[in-house]
Structure 1
């Protein structure tokens, strides 16, 4: 068009990165607000704990926070609009790869979560609960991936994590999934002690059926319930194994400053998550600590994305 001037590549990438960081921040707010609504609605840390936990499964949830519900809807709408604009900016006038690919995945995930929201009213569907939980974390991870891939010059790829790093990232994924299943199956009350869980140190075999999310819940997992105990112990053991593996990765990457900083960020968030998890249990599952634990998981996955970028060849 006459009178229009092409945007310099550096200006375009800076704008995309700024928009990705805005989307990242909005996604974090979505995770925090949705966690607060879900956990408060479930009665987490309620006065008559744990008897009052999971009342939402019986159609009698506590009155939700009107402000939190409004905040969630507004922020989710803003995040969707930002995601649409981000995808457009990444693809036009020419694709900016790999940022465009991650922006497309981000937008697809946003649309999927909007669709899943149709079934979210029934909190008894564990699979839908899990998709909502993991989807929120995915929004944060994908928006961060767009940000770090928008300006490749800001991130120097160096160092090889090797198979240990890939195993560590896999175990970290399992850690987050186990934590998501605890929330999706309303199993927080199953374990109220540290470090053992209901006297168990290893996941009871009869509780491993709780790994199946395709169930309709009849009620929350009570104290000592085998499925909930198994999920808690799997979550804790996987987190501990992740910590050990990432320590090995940090030692292997000691001569690659950028990659080493990335793995140290992962270790920092892992330690923070462990502390928040322990405090949540010790406090009788205080709501604000549980919400912080959810937000910390999102930041942990973002740090893992940075590590994956830093060791990529």
Structure 2
């Protein structure tokens, strides 16, 4: 029994590390949004330190040195702290991800693909954080940094789902057959389902149309998040103050050049460099994208209510309604800081819900196919 207990305790500790990292990653995304929305992205003009120091210069002597070293970047202590706190927390997350990858490769039964991808993403995310500062908030870099944060959280979320199921499966096997089973499970992959309940025959058939709808909703949410990042990076969030699309003649002045990935050359991109029509184009497209996402997510919620259950359907609708409410509040209240940060975090929440639903659709389809195959085998031997 000691072998079984040792292995299970190690896996539970690994799961605790994954859950903690996921929670910290959510905080990093929220802090990133807060930093961006408080115009603190250039609170420290260098990287990874701040005005040449490991922390924010506050004494008269340190501030004098900072001014001398960066005469074009006056010290704003509050903005500098916003930026450095974000860096400290993001750096801690990077160390945890490195630990996850290390522990994953030490144990044969643990998934190694996701931790390896996650480590690569977090390294690239650090580079994007550096380029955000050194390239003076170039929109494509700022948007990429936001998408990198969302990707990090999504990968951690998937890893938590898969590892939790693997650990629960191994625990159930060991409870039934003893230490030999748990040791054997360490040497082979455990079949993972993303549903919380054991695999069972699907009561409702899942066809290709539902899978296509799930993938379409997932892609639409991802593109909408990118549009939101582009809107924020180009300071286009408050150019339209009326609903449903914009009070300006956005259709008549629609300018596709607003989406060119390389922005016009400028010393700094803080506060934006695009003209009014281009910003209106970005904002209007983001709102139209929200309408498309709403339709697809509602259709998906209706379609999965039977094969995946009421909870999956309600989760989709609740996340969508919350995100729409926050978006409308941003418009009518002219982008209050707390609501704008919540809008970023809720966009991530909606993404995770759609990801889990999509996985559920494909996992249930696979489960149904296996059940059908087993039934066919029994009939052929009956």
User: Per the shorter chain, which TM-score range?
Assistant: 0.7 to 0.9
Matched, 1:302 2:352: yes
CA 87–264 in structure 1, closer or farther in 2 if over 3 Å, else same: farther
1:94-133 aligned within 5 A: 94-97=108-111, 100-121=112-133, 122-133=135-146
CA 11–262 in structure 1, closer or farther in 2 if over 3 Å, else same: farther
Matched, 1:185 2:234: yes
Residue of 257, 270, 277 corresponding to 1:209: 257
Residue of 65, 86, 107 corresponding to 1:93: 107
Which residue in the other structure is 1:229 paired with?
280
Matched, 1:16 2:18: no
CA 69–133 in structure 1, closer or farther in 2 if over 3 Å, else same: same
Matched, 1:162 2:211: yes
CA 294–310 in structure 1, closer or farther in 2 if over 3 Å, else same: same
| 1:45-88 alpha-carbon deviations (Å, 9 max, x no partner) | xxxxxxxxxxxxx9789664454334312211221111111122
Which residue in the other structure is 1:81 paired with?
95
CA RMSD of aligned residues (A): 3.0
CA distance in structure 1 between the partners assigned to 2:74 and 2:257 by the alignment: 27
Q: Which runs of 5+ in 2 are unaligned?
A: 42-71, 170-193, 367-382
Answer whether contact 1:41 1:61 (CA < 8 A) is retained.
Answer: no
Answer whether contact 1:190 1:221 (CA < 8 A) is retained.
Answer: no
Pick 1 or 2: higher relative contact order, CA cutoff 8 A, min separation 6.
Answer: 1
CA distance in structure 1 between the partners assigned to 2:288 and 2:77 by the alignment: 35
CA distance in structure 1 between the partners assigned to 2:137 and 2:265 by the alignment: 5
Which residue in the other structure is 2:334 paired with?
284
CA 196–93 in structure 1, closer or farther in 2 if over 3 Å, else same: closer
Residue of 290, 293, 300 corresponding to 1:242: 293
CA distance in structure 2 between the partners assigned to 1:217 and 1:129 by the alignment: 15
Answer whether contact 1:84 1:107 (CA < 8 A) is retained.
Answer: yes
When the two structures are superposed, what TM-score results if normalisation uses the length of structure 2? Answer: 0.68
Q: Which runs of 5+ in 1 are unaligned?
A: 44-57
CA 241–69 in structure 1, closer or farther in 2 if over 3 Å, else same: same
Answer whether contact 2:250 2:277 (CA < 8 A) is retained.
Answer: no
Matched, 1:142 2:155: yes
Q: How many residues align?
A: 292
| 1:177-202 alpha-carbon deviations (Å, 9 max, x no partner) | 11011012222232222223133465
Answer whether contact 1:191 1:224 (CA < 8 A) is retained.
Answer: no
By how many angstroms is 1:104 displaced? 1.8
By how many angstroms is 1:96 displaced? 2.1
| 248-257 vs 178-187, greater mean Cα deviation | 248-257
